[in-house]
Chains A and B, each alone.
Chain A
Amino acid sequence: MRPLDWAVLAASLVVIVLYGLWRARDTGSVNKYLLAGKTMPWYAMALSIMATQASAITFISTTGQSYIDGMRFVQFYFGLPLAMVVISATAVPIFHRANVYTAYEYLERRFDAKTRALVSFIFLIQRGLAVGVALYAPAIVLTVILGWPDRATTLVMGVLVVLYTTLGGIKAVTWTDVQQMLIMMFGLVASLATVIWLLPRDIGFMDAVTLAGAAGKLNPVVLSFDWNDRYNLWSGLFGGMFLALAYFGCDQSQVQRYLTGKSIAQSRLSLLFNAVAKVPMQFFILFIGAMVFVFYTFEKPPLLFERVQQGRIEQTPAYAPLAERFDASFEKRRQAARDLIAARRDGSGDQTRFAEDYRRAQTELEEARRAGFRLVEANGGQPGFNDTNYIFITFVTRYLPVGLVGLVMAAVFAAAMSTISAEINSLATVTVIDIYRRHIRKQAPDRHYLRAARLATVFWGAYAIATAEYGSRLGALIEAVNILGSYFYGGLLGVFALAFFFKQVRGNGAFLGVLAGEAAIFAVARFTGVSFLWYNVVGCVVVVLTALAVTALENRHRPA
């Protein structure tokens, strides 16, 4: 990065924080601090919901995923609009009318205190695990790309987030999210424009799309069904819907966004905006990855995009023959691509043959890269190493014009900060409302709880930074922590399904149902190869069936 890039990055971060604090001048009560006094317009909530979901790793790895695996990841989001419709019709009016700070507060009114405590506890574990990773994961990538110590990256992001989240509460979080989302979108549009502009002069946009398609990168809909395949139409629609129902309907980090709405209608509009905008937006991000792939068809990519590991394997004797093999495959693929485009323009019958050559060369190139991954593993690298997260950022830092690099880096920081601020804010809210106010200090003035909420925000912020500090020692555990986090949504979803749709179920049924649902998810994860997208379906179904069975037993033993 050059001085102008640093200036753009620093200015973007300062403007985001100051703007958020300016919009959140009045936070003198718990209600204003945690719910913005229920004054937020739909567009601010909509962009905040979108920014919260788009973490830095989502931002930088989605494009890389498309480069490697094509656009089929977009199917992961097909269930989201379905979930948004269900939540708008059910959860939004129920939560608004219940006048609650947290989704879990509603569970006590519907069931009992132990169910609320159990679900709040599950949320604190799940989000507590995630918040440090949300801070540390982008820091690893930025450290490799920018050459910073990871401690500096986590500290800069962490301190800024804690500053505006503590001082401004949810209003600051929401308005900074709006800024951050706009920066992310601008960064993405600029990246797509640049990658197309950087293609060789004789390769037009339609040529690039043809080449991406011929390499199998333009596969946004896969109709075949496979339980173990994460991304096909059916797992996206059903598994994706259950995941989105759990995330947007039961996770306080999202529920709190739309609880700040001026009215039920404003909250519904914010969710429905996401229902309409999210899938095309993901398509757009993945399309950038496909175009980066085409760019690297003509511009030689490094064997590995992760430069530290690339440097390490370059020192090994096995590297030279591998690099030779990689270079030969690259040249073959470039030539086949040119031949394919020429045949397409001529309309000659050789198109099929050149497309085959192109794909064969692509397969050889991928095999050489996989051999590179194995070389990393053999030389002390992490088992299962891959460089997907480094592809887009490497492209940005090497090829984008000066100034734009700083802007895209600001977008990466923005993506990380928007997610972390929402997580810290929601963790603090649940800590104060569902634990402290409910079980520890039941009667106190409003200003006492306001102070407690600020302190809880600082605590969770410090916790996130501390966890991220130890991130380097976690190593491969980060992946495990991420996966573990996904085990809890089925239980949460099940208990809210009971609350909304099964009026006969009472506290004991709900409580035991959640425990059984979580046990079922852990068992499925441990003993089967079923994709994680289906865990939420399994968990939710087991919660409901167990609760219905417990309720039936209770009714049988109840005195007439």
Chain B
Amino acid sequence: MTREPQDSETNPPVADEPPPFLGAWRRVYAAVLIYLAAVIFLFYLFGRAFAG
């Protein structure tokens, strides 16, 4: 065999699967963004609570 390896031959076709929670990837992404907003808000409150 002297030809360039073709990756599609060595890897099985890739299927898109649903996420293991929340049912759809869009909902998972939304959850991550809400989580980020909550974390930033908590950090803000933390900074304000202990500002000198």
Contact = CB atoms under 8 A, between A and B. Distances in A.
Contacts of A219: 47, 51
A88 B27 CA distance: 13
A99 B8 contact: yes
Nearest to A72: B47
A272 B28 contact: yes
A101 B6 CA distance: 10
Contacts of A446: 1, 5
A443 B15 contact: no
Given A443-B3, A444-B2, A85 B47 contact: no
Contacts of A85: 29, 32-33
Q: What interface size band does chain B fall in?
A: 20 to 34
B39 A279 contact: yes
Contacts of A355: 52
Interface in A104-134: none
B23 interface: no
A38 B20 CA distance: 19
Given A31-B7, A264-B17, A269-B19, A89 B29 contact: yes
A93 B35 CA distance: 24
Interface of B: 1-5, 7-8, 10-12, 14-20, 25, 28-29, 32-33, 35-36, 39-40, 43-44, 46-47, 49-52
Given A218-B51, A449-B5, 14 more contacts: A74-B43, A78-B40, A81-B33, A85-B29, A89-B25, A93-B14, A210-B50, A214-B52, A219-B47, A223-B44, A263-B17, A279-B39, A444-B4, A446-B5
Contact of A78 (B1, B2, B36): B36
Interface of A: 29-31, 35, 37-38, 71, 74, 78, 81-82, 84-85, 88-89, 93, 96-97, 99-101, 209-210, 212-216, 218-221, 223, 233, 263-265, 268-269, 272, 275-276, 279-280, 283, 355, 358-359, 437, 442-446, 449
9 contacts: A38-B11, A38-B12, A81-B36, A85-B32, A213-B50, A219-B47, A221-B43, A221-B47, A276-B35
Contact of B51 (A213, A223, A442, A449): A213
Contact of A265 (B12, B17, B51): B17
A218 B14 contact: no
A71 B36 CA distance: 17
Contacts of B14: 93, 96-97, 99, 263-264
Contact of B2 (A30, A264, A445): A445
A101 B7 contact: yes
A449 B5 CA distance: 9
Contacts of A214: 50, 52
A29 B10 contact: yes
Given A82-B33, A88-B29, A265-B17, A215 B47 contact: no
Given A89-B25, A265-B19, A220 B50 contact: no
Of B28, B33, B36, which is in contact with the most chain A CB atoms at under 10 Å from its CB? B36
Given A74-B43, A221-B43, A279-B36, A268 B25 contact: yes
A302 to B, nearest CB: 25
A214 B29 CA distance: 37
Nearest to A80: B36
A99 B11 contact: yes
Nearest to A437: B4
A66 to B, nearest CB: 13
Given A264-B16, A264-B17, A445 B51 contact: no
Given A442-B4, A443-B4, A218 B46 contact: yes
A359 B50 CA distance: 14
Which 6 A-B residue pairs are closest in the complex by CB-CB distance? A213-B50, A214-B52, A220-B43, A265-B17, A221-B44, A99-B7
B16 A218 contact: no
Of B1, B18, B33, B46, which is in contact with the most chain A CB atoms at under 10 Å from its CB? B46
Contacts of B29: 85, 88-89
Nearest to B51: A213
Contacts of B51: 213, 216, 218-219
B7 A220 contact: no
Contacts of A100: 7
